[in-house]
Structure 1
């Protein structure tokens, strides 16, 4: 029987201290060679175990084998020079030193497929795997070759599609594309961003998702949020076109945000991963707070299409905080699940 309100995470979970520096994005590995290979697999096992203990229904690798949700994929592509770095403004918010596109983009070999096979061997639960979306990849690089954000995005969409098809063959149930850039570059999203995303999912039979959030709980993001006013209506710009797209699931930030919950009505008919856990605070939600967010969402999303989730990745959080938040997510979903199942159906 299909689980009602199946829970999942948006992506990353904290890495153990023996693998990488805790609570730091882009943290370098503490191991090398075969020890690093083994360490990543051990961390993936631990991350999976913690999700299962917390009662998470749709599990992931916790992004334990990658340093960063975008650049780890790009590292494995031809045409990008990681030594030749430039400073660019990412998401129109903060400066970062990024690699340079110096030639045609191509993918010579799978990037995450071996990791996905390893995860598949460890569990019978449904698996979700996150990939960076084409527009967010473009926004995390300096392009010295195509000289066009759109052209580069189409090239990334092609290689993402190759990877996604192999992930599907490895047993992944949901492939999620992370597109925080969709909350910033609205004209580009509607002109070509969603079209590129549809190119990335072309031919897939597994479910597909797009995750659009306001970012990790890092200072650059929290400072930006303070400038957005009393209502965050960015989703209003992109959800209508996404509602008409071929993407199956739309993952959004909701809890403790100033996103008007009625904006969820713009994607009615789609499955929605509703962010019910705030990743920008160490405060652990109560199950009742999670339940309250889900009840609000249920005014605009049918119960069979609502997937309780985290707002974003939790890599920058302490492990005990992330663990507590996962427990709260599951407990809050269970409260609402029981309420739905105990409500008598209206007479026909």
Structure 2
């Protein structure tokens, strides 16, 4: 039996990766120094895994930004707007694709399956794919020649890569896959020639709902690999769910198959025990949760591996995480401030690798070797289960009562709309923002001073009020129609609320990558969630006192708090989400009572919680949508409920979006170049829509004409009266001057479209 890992967190124990990236972008590091620092971080990660006793260590899982972007660059898929002339792709072009530049909009970014990781979407169609460099080979040779580690190169498989790309018609999918396969063969052949034994080919798209035609295509692709690469061993790795076409999958001409026995445990295990497993293949057994942070119940995992070994000989089993450890923090080592019952129940990447190695040792040398660890593990997990925080009867009873609650607004939307129009008297195409404004060094330092106890509550409140006052004035000068307070008191849109609700704890260094250098520190939901006291009223009321214009109250929705947290695994996600919704309902009611009659409850993560299997989606959407309505349905008809979503395939669940019954939903249309607008051209949708008309993840300032074109496209598919105009997301990561310039252009573009519409009328 061997131990294996599928991928290691890139960011480093102290976010060294993020710091190097941002220093390079800021011009504080030259390219040579930047590359040297990245090499050092990459090697440290490999050596650490070696010291953990991992037999099959992944290489080429490290990236300067995103692994899908790396694949696109390796295959020369550089959109023409980036003025690429061929050959090895310069770093400037690489980062321009990810972040945009003054001349070109960044490539689209969207969620990696149902996780909170965002990938850069490759674009086919403008260039013929060509191999620019062999990145997996470079990674392998570095590890072998400099560290003595014969690693396992990792590469995204052709089916998944093309499936997650854009730029081709639906009926061209097979043609594009066939076009890219010879480049894969070139990459893999070079690996074979340099002595690589195993290559991990990630095919997470294999767990989606595949057609018969898809399966025929996949078979053809892997037969080509088998014929061209007689000595190279391929481990086809699936994760995030079970594979529905197991009997056909195990017949692929490859040497190993990786299955998820955490998130796809029931179906994958049933298939394995019912249909067996080929005697000539290795089973990559994903038994340790690669996406959540709780310690495994070792006795349970022992029995699971034992069951697998009744079907597959132990020497043909690799024990491994269920997915790449990209989705969890690096180590629990520094988390000394957590409650003890929580701390001992946590396992981040390093601890998960220790669990992998422990299980392998038990099977290699006998269970008695790890008996003490199993006993302590059981004791630690039981201690958390008995915590008072997990046994709040009042919360549990209130949640159960929701089963008989409809959770609907008292007045239907078409009536509410008339009431709200009479109340607010807003112009056509009202302009607003999503909520946050730039969090400068000064803002972050003030927050740290307060957290460290160097500032009093009065000092900190005065500072926050100063920021709110300044940005209310800026918004009025720009000419925005609906204002926000700016969220200067908030580190993160989920963490902030978790800090004020019971049932959460927070790590000191539990960072994970969200996109690019953007790292987040998800809250840990370990107990029953309960409202304590108002969380946002003070700042919203202060902002409202400074202006005659409407000011939105800003909250994060229940599904987003759920999906962007590490969630307890002893109860269903539905139960946790409904507990959060009940707590947020009290906050919504407190805002309304304080005179805040526009309330935005953001749900950017609603889509990412959508199950990968079509058959499972209705049940999820039922409770996720109801949770939103639980939080928002008790307000008066004149109170306008907004929500916000970003970077997701809205066509997947447009009906569910309507069922949220929000008065206005803001969506992203910038990176997708307005494609989402077309969704509303073919679907019936009667509520307000906020068009996200420029990309806040890029430092570039959009031109007035560019935004004007986006707005014009929107009003061609739906009545202008349905649209609001806003950036595509919050502005906390942007600089002050670029934010002001971009918003001025947004307002100018909106006025131009308004004037044209008025002339036509």
TM-score (normalizing by structure 1): 0.85
Distance, in Å, in 1 between the alignment partners of 2:513 and 2:577 is: 17
Residue aligning to 1:62 = 486
Q: How many residues align?
A: 320
Distance, in Å, in 1 between the alignment partners of 2:518 and 2:431 is: 32
Distance, in Å, in 2 between the alignment partners of 1:342 and 1:292 is: 17
Q: Secondary structure at the match of 1:20?
A: helix
- Say whether the 8 Å CA contact 1:182–1:238 is kept in structure 2: no
Question: Aligned runs of 1:172-183 on 2, under 5 Å?
Answer: 172-183=596-607
Residue aligning to 2:654 = 239
Residue aligning to 1:261 = 677
After superposition, the Cα gap between the structure-2 partners of 1:44 and 1:305, relative to the gap in structure 1 and judged at 3 Å, is same
- 1:242, CA displacement in angstroms? 1.8
Question: Aligned runs of 1:317-328 on 2, under 5 Å?
Answer: 317-328=734-745
- Say whether the 8 Å CA contact 1:274–1:306 is kept in structure 2: yes
Residue aligning to 1:249 = 664
Distance, in Å, in 2 between the alignment partners of 1:2 and 1:86 is: 43
Residue aligning to 2:646 = 213
- Say whether the 8 Å CA contact 2:536–2:553 is kept in structure 1: no
- 1:18, CA displacement in angstroms? 2.5
Q: Over aligned residues, Cα RMSD in angstroms?
A: 2.4
1:194 maps onto 2:634 in alignment: no
- 1:166, CA displacement in angstroms? 1.0
Distance, in Å, in 2 between the alignment partners of 1:94 and 1:290 is: 25
Specify every segment of 5 or more residues in structure 1 that has no aligned partner in the other structure, as ranges. 22-26, 215-231
- 1:146, CA displacement in angstroms? 5.3
Distance, in Å, in 2 between the alignment partners of 1:88 and 1:148 is: 23
Q: Secondary structure at the match of 1:328?
A: helix
- Say whether the 8 Å CA contact 1:19–1:30 is kept in structure 2: no
**CA displacement 1:114-159 (0-9 Å, x = unmatched):** 1111111111101112211111101222233753211111011111
Residue aligning to 1:139 = 563
- Say whether the 8 Å CA contact 1:58–1:128 is kept in structure 2: yes
After superposition, the Cα gap between the structure-2 partners of 1:87 and 1:38, relative to the gap in structure 1 and judged at 3 Å, is closer
Distance, in Å, in 1 between the alignment partners of 2:559 and 2:689 is: 21
After superposition, the Cα gap between the structure-2 partners of 1:271 and 1:180, relative to the gap in structure 1 and judged at 3 Å, is same
Distance, in Å, in 2 between the alignment partners of 1:55 and 1:17 is: 26
Q: 1:296 aligns with which of 707, 713, 717?
A: 713
Q: Secondary structure at the match of 1:37?
A: helix
- Say whether the 8 Å CA contact 1:54–1:327 is kept in structure 2: yes
Distance, in Å, in 2 between the alignment partners of 1:133 and 1:299 is: 31
Distance, in Å, in 2 between the alignment partners of 1:204 and 1:342 is: 38
Distance, in Å, in 2 between the alignment partners of 1:42 and 1:94 is: 27
After superposition, the Cα gap between the structure-2 partners of 1:8 and 1:154, relative to the gap in structure 1 and judged at 3 Å, is same
Please identify the structure whose Cα radius of gyration is greater: 2
1:128 maps onto 2:559 in alignment: no
- Say whether the 8 Å CA contact 2:494–2:522 is kept in structure 1: no
- 1:238, CA displacement in angstroms? 2.0
Residue aligning to 1:225 = none
Residue aligning to 1:272 = 689
Distance, in Å, in 1 between the alignment partners of 2:509 and 2:568 is: 11
**CA displacement 1:59-105 (0-9 Å, x = unmatched):** 001112211111111101112122588677869x9985433223221
Q: Which has the higher contact order (CA 8 A, sep 6+)?
A: 1
- Say whether the 8 Å CA contact 2:429–2:721 is kept in structure 1: yes
**CA displacement 1:40-75 (0-9 Å, x = unmatched):** 110111111111111110000111221111111110
After superposition, the Cα gap between the structure-2 partners of 1:285 and 1:186, relative to the gap in structure 1 and judged at 3 Å, is same
- Say whether the 8 Å CA contact 1:47–1:64 is kept in structure 2: no
Q: 2:526 aligns with which of 93, 99, 102?
A: 102
- 1:172, CA displacement in angstroms? 1.9
Distance, in Å, in 1 between the alignment partners of 2:598 and 2:718 is: 20
After superposition, the Cα gap between the structure-2 partners of 1:88 and 1:287, relative to the gap in structure 1 and judged at 3 Å, is closer
Q: 2:470 aligns with which of 35, 42, 46?
A: 46
1:338 maps onto 2:755 in alignment: yes
Residue aligning to 1:29 = 448
Q: Secondary structure at the match of 2:505?
A: strand
Q: 1:309 aligns with which of 726, 733, 745?
A: 726
After superposition, the Cα gap between the structure-2 partners of 1:146 and 1:198, relative to the gap in structure 1 and judged at 3 Å, is farther
